[in-house]
């Protein structure tokens, strides 16, 4: 070191402070080249740590420390935590080709508009690693000034040098990609964005090409930055102040920091809040720039020895003084250095030298001061001192630029690796599918969109069951309906079994966007629709139809009825159009008085109400369609027995309800396995599934669909208030890929939910479940807020978000408004915006709507009885355009005539012709005909299946097409 350099260091002005700004030469994928050096740049994936256990965090932290010591040892590295913004256009681009039918462009645009409205930040964690120094002449003299900010040069990077650097980048990428950071090379446009945003502090479109040089770099780095004592002013191309920025240094840390907790000093950047003039909390956007070096053992031992020797010299010098007393700090430093060296040699302790900086920006000077105060206070609560770099703003800001170097070395720290990586710069919240529709957003420490595709399991070769759990009125059914809508727009067949009778609103949304849909009420007008002799193939029906009829009989007749019912079924099945009604007529016409008594008892039950749906005279009408679209199947008046009651004690209405449910479930199961239906995606939605799990038939249905759903291309979407009953179905639990958990109260249900989430049943997690739907004020419900576990077993908190107020209003259809056909004008309370997630009866009573409008909506989406059209061998979807203003009605592909839907939302026509050139669904299908015995056993365990078939069914579960 020259004497001049030593003198500069003594007065706190090192040679680094006088270096010119970096002059860029080239930017490529993962590579930044300046006159002085070449750097590799990577993007670090967000780790999902917000709800991780301490054991999981400790294991990840140890893995990070080990990887850093191995890969980054003695390398100059630059960590940047910056914020972008999610945009609606990016979302539309990301789902291009996903939706297929209806006004899918309008649906996607509705969600995109909502994303733009939320202005949601998106965190990027970038890691730069020094590869090599380039030209020593670049460090000679100070050239340019801060008014120029960044410069460009006519120097070129040779193809040979570029190839060599690119090879080193890819080698590092392979190493870092296998660590807990899951790093990947940063695209060239992202690197250029990291640079240009520092010049403009705004959204600047980056050049989109593989290698950026010359004029592109000049445009990228053009700007003007003027430093002041405690801040910088950044000017735009018109000479106006674009932003005020202050660079803060983290000057002092406590001796010990706990993690999880205050030690996560970089993860908590998104948690910093300021108070505005109205007293409300607002988010403060804080970015971080940390230059660091992981010290190898050799370097660390040398540094420790130098520090110990310096302390020793100070102690000896003090002993020779007049006081002959040594400062306690000097003695303590000498002792600690000896211990640190021992730990380095024995236990593999690694050290990190780091220089953390925080960057805060605002539109006005007053806002900047308020934001800086908020940052200082936030870290003061954690024992960390943060201060604006007085008279150092220029060098601290240049230091934060990619391609530059450390300029203020005296504002740094040397600490154990665990203390540095325990900042959890890569920690936060990350969950959901990598692609597909957005269903909401993260509410953890790293905001972002949450993507969820209910039908994605089959395509991924994964299980296919999604579960929504929680108390009534918290938003679980609404979330399930949103998932069903996205699947319907993607071309799936989406039946929704509405046992509670409040899900008709989802059909209204589908109709508004041109998706084939209907609300189907299973009533007497559909006589015979749930008749197993008509729903199932002959071989299955011969076995299962008698079981369905036996359900209807009172207990005292069942013993004598089994043989006559089976005989009548065998005779009826030979007729051209067999039906359970024909079986009953044969029983009534029998010579035996006992047999006639059985027939008359059955006839009395099936000639009224839901009984006719099970075994009444065939009307020739079918309410159940297999065309793509969203079909809400309602069963008004369905009463199911309690799980504690024995079949002998069931009332007639409970026996009819069970028989009707059995017929409907058999239709759904049979439909999902039809040969001509295999190439189509199928999503079966069952709200309030606890009404099914308490019945043998319902439990068998859920278990069967869940187990074979992947091969069938059938996904199961369930919502329930009773996680304890789900745990009693191990076959179903094994197939759950995605779970949305809303609040519960009782200890049994909370612990059952935590078991399904894979979280420990401890007080912190129990408190989280109980309060997940409680608003911050503790006095209101936070509808739609939940804990999500995705198919990769990641767990995070999520807010389900309805894309527009119009969609929220349509989804909020109440049972009263659906079925009240007498127009009346209620007395309305003062208008309040309806809560889109409210589902409790109490909530509905407080949100009255004009009955006339509700009646019109019910009429528009309730299907009239129609003749069932034969299904073609290759399903074809025909959806009429709802944009033609002269049309008075349109016909859906299943023959249902419905009134013309309203104009497209927002007054914008986003119609795009649907595409059906390729089949919708997975490449793997299930051969149900080859596995009839397994089907029978799964659906009807109480019956007596043919033992020979059972013995032949093993090993024939799935077949690959």
Q: pLDDT for 265-317, tens place per residue?
A: 999 998 899 988 888 888 898 999 999 999 988 887 777 777 766 666 666 66
Q: What percent of the chain has pLDDT over 70?
A: 70
Q: Which residue has the higher pLDDT, 826 or 163?
A: 163
Residue 934, pLDDT score: 41
pLDDT greater than 50 at residue 167: yes
Distances from the Cα of 363 to the Cα of 278, 288, 748, angstroms: 18, 19, 52
pLDDT band at 877 (very low <50, low <70, confident <90, very high): very low
Residue 615 bridge partners (DSSP): none
Ramachandran bin of 251, using left for φ above 0, alpha for ψ from -120 to 50, beta for the remaining angles: alpha
Q: Which residue has the higher pLDDT, 538 or 942?
A: 538
Residue 624, pLDDT score: 63
User: What is the arithmetic mean of pLDDT over 847-866?
Assistant: 36
pLDDT greater than 70 at residue 261: yes
User: What is the arithmetic mean of pLDDT over 33-41?
Assistant: 93
pLDDT greater than 90 at residue 95: yes
Q: What percent of the chain has pLDDT over 90?
A: 38
Residue position matching structure tokens 């939302």: 905
- Whether a cis peptide bond, with omega within 30° of 0, leads into 260 is yes
Residue 333, pLDDT score: 66
Choice among 573-582, 597-606, 757-766, 820-829 with the minimum mean pLDDT: 820-829
pLDDT greater than 70 at residue 859: no
User: What is the arithmetic mean of pLDDT over 742-764?
Assistant: 94
Residue 183, pLDDT score: 96
pLDDT greater than 60 at residue 148: no
Residue 450, pLDDT score: 96
**Which of 298-312, 478-492, 647-661, 686-700 has the largest mean confidence?**
478-492
3-state class (DSSP) for residue 580: helix
CA 96-101-622 angle, 5° bins = 155
User: What is the arithmetic mean of pLDDT over 885-907?
Assistant: 38
CA distance 896 to 194: 55
Torsion sign (Cα): 186, 192, 198, 203: negative
Q: Which residue has the higher pLDDT, 492 or 614?
A: 492
- Using one digit for the tens of pLDDT, what is the confidence trace for 65-87? 999 999 999 999 999 999 988 89
pTM listed for this prediction: 0.75
Q: Which pair of tokens denotes residue 815?
A: 């049972």
Q: Which residue has the higher pLDDT, 152 or 355?
A: 355
Residue 201, pLDDT score: 54
- Using one digit for the tens of pLDDT, what is the confidence trace for 675-703? 667 677 889 888 877 666 666 666 666 66
Q: Across the chain, what does the average pLDDT equal?
A: 76
Q: Which residue has the higher pLDDT, 244 or 460?
A: 244
3-state class (DSSP) for residue 837: coil
Q: Which residue has the higher pLDDT, 581 or 879?
A: 581
pLDDT greater than 70 at residue 543: yes
CA distance 60 to 52: 10
């Amino acid at each position: 070191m020259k004497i001049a350099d030593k003198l500069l260091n003594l007065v706190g002005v090192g040679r680094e402070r006088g270096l010119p700004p970096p002059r860029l030469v080239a930017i490529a994928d993962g590579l930044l080249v300046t006159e002085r050096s070449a750097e590799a740049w990577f993007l670090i994936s967000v780790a999902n740590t917000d709800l991780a256990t301490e054991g999981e965090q400790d294991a990840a932290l140890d893995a990070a420390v080990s990887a850093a010591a191995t890969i980054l040892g003695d390398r100059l590295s630059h960590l940047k935590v910056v914020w972008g913004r999610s945009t609606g256009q990016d979302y539309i681009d990301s789902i291009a080709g996903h939706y297929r039918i209806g006004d899918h462009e309008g649906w996607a645009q509705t969600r995109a508009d909502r994303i733009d409205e939320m202005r949601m930040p998106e965190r990027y964690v970038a890691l730069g690693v020094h590869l090599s120094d380039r030209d020593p002449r670049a460090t000679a003299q100070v050239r340019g000034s801060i008014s120029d900010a960044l410069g460009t040069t006519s120097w070129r990077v040779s193809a040979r040098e570029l190839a060599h650097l690119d090879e080193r980048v890819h080698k590092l990428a392979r190493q870092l990609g296998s660590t807990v950071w899951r790093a990947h090379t940063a695209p060239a446009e992202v690197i250029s964005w990291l640079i240009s945003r520092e010049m403009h502090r705004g959204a600047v479109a980056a050049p989109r090409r593989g290698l950026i040089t010359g004029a592109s770099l000049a445009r990228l780095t053009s700007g003007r930055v003027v430093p002041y004592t405690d801040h910088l002013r950044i000017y735009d191309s018109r000479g106006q102040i674009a932003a005020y920025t202050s660079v803060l240094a983290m000057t002092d840390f406590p001796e010990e920091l706990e993690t999880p907790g205050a030690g996560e000093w970089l993860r908590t950047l998104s948690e910093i809040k300021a108070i505005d003039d109205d007293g409300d909390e607002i988010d403060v956007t804080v970015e971080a720039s940390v230059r660091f070096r992981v010290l190898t053992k050799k370097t660390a031992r040398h540094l420790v020895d130098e520090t110990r020797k310096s302390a020793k010299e100070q102690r000896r010098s003090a002993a020779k003084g007049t006081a002959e007393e040594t400062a306690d700090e000097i003695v303590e430093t000498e002792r600690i250095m000896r211990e640190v060296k021992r730990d380095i040699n024995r236990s593999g302790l690694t050290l990190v030298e780091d220089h953390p900086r925080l960057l805060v920006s605002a539109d006005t000077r007053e806002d900047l001061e308020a934001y800086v105060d908020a940052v200082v206070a936030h870290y003061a609560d954690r024992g960390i001192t943060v201060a604006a770099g007085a008279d150092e703003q220029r060098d601290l800001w240049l230091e934060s630029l990619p391609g530059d170097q450390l300029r203020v070395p005296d504002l740094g720290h040397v600490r154990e690796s665990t203390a540095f990586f325990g900042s959890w710069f890569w920690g936060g919240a990350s969950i959901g599918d990598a692609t597909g529709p957005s269903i909401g957003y993260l509410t953890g420490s790293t905001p972002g969109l949450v993507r969820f595709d209910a039908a994605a399991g089959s395509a991924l070769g994964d299980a296919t069951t999604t579960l929504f759990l929680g108390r009534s009125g918290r938003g679980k059914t609404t979330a399930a309906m949103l998932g069903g809508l996205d699947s319907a727009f993607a071309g799936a067949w989406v039946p929704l079994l509405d046992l509670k009778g409040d899900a008709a609103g989802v059909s209204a949304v589908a109709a508004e966007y041109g998706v084939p849909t209907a609300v189907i009420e299973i009533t007497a007008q559909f006589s015979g629709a749930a008749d197993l002799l008509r729903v199932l193939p002959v071989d299955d029906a011969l076995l299962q139809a008698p079981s369905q009829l036996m359900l209807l009989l009172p207990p005292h007749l069942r013993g004598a009825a089994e043989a006559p019912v089976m005989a009548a079924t065998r005779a009826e099945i030979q007729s051209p159009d067999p039906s359970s009604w024909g079986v009953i007529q044969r029983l009534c016409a029998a010579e035996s008085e006992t047999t006639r008594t059985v027939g008359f008892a059955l006839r009395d039950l099936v000639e009224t109400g839901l009984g006719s749906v099970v075994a009444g005279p065939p009307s020739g009408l079918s309410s159940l369609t297999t065309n793509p679209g969203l079909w809400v199947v309602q069963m008004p008046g369905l009463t199911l027995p309690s799980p504690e009651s024995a079949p002998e004690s069931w009332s007639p209405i409970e026996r009819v309800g069970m028989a009707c449910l059995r017929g409907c479930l058999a239709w759904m199961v049979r439909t999902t396995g039809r040969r001509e239906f295999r190439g189509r995606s199928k999503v079966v939605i069952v709200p309030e599934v606890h009404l099914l799990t308490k019945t043998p038939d319902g439990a068998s249905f859920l278990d069967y669909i869940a187990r074979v759903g992947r091969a069938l291309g059938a996904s199961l979407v369930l919502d329930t208030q009773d996680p304890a009953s789900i745990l009693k179905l191990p076959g179903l639990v094994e197939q759950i890929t995605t779970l949305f958990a809303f609040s519960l109260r009782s200890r049994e249900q909370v612990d059952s939910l935590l078991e399904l989430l894979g979280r420990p049943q401890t007080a912190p997690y129990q408190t989280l479940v109980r309060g997940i739907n409680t608003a911050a004020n503790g006095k209101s419900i936070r509808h739609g807020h939940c804990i999500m576990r995705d198919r990769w077993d990641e767990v995070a908190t999520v807010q389900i978000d309805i894309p527009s107020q119009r969609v929220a209003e349509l989804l909020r259809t109440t049972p009263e408004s659906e079925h009240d056909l007498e127009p009346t004008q209620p007395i309305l309370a003062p208008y309040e915006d309806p809560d889109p997630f409210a589902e409790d009866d109490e909530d509905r009573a407080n949100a009255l709507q004009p009955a006339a409008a509700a009646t019109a909506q019910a009429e528009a989406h309730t299907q009239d009885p129609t003749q069932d059209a034969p299904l073609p061998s290759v399903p074809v979807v025909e959806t009429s355009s709802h944009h033609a203003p002269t049309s008075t009605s349109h016909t859906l592909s299943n023959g249902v005539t419905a009134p013309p839907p309203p104009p497209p939302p927002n007054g914008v026509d986003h119609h795009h012709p649907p595409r059906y050139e390729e089949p919708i669904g997975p490449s793997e299908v299930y051969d149900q005909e080859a596995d009839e015995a397994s089907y029978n056993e799964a659906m009807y365990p109480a019956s007596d299946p043919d033992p020979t078939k059972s013995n032949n069914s093993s090993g024939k579960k799935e077949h690959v097409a």
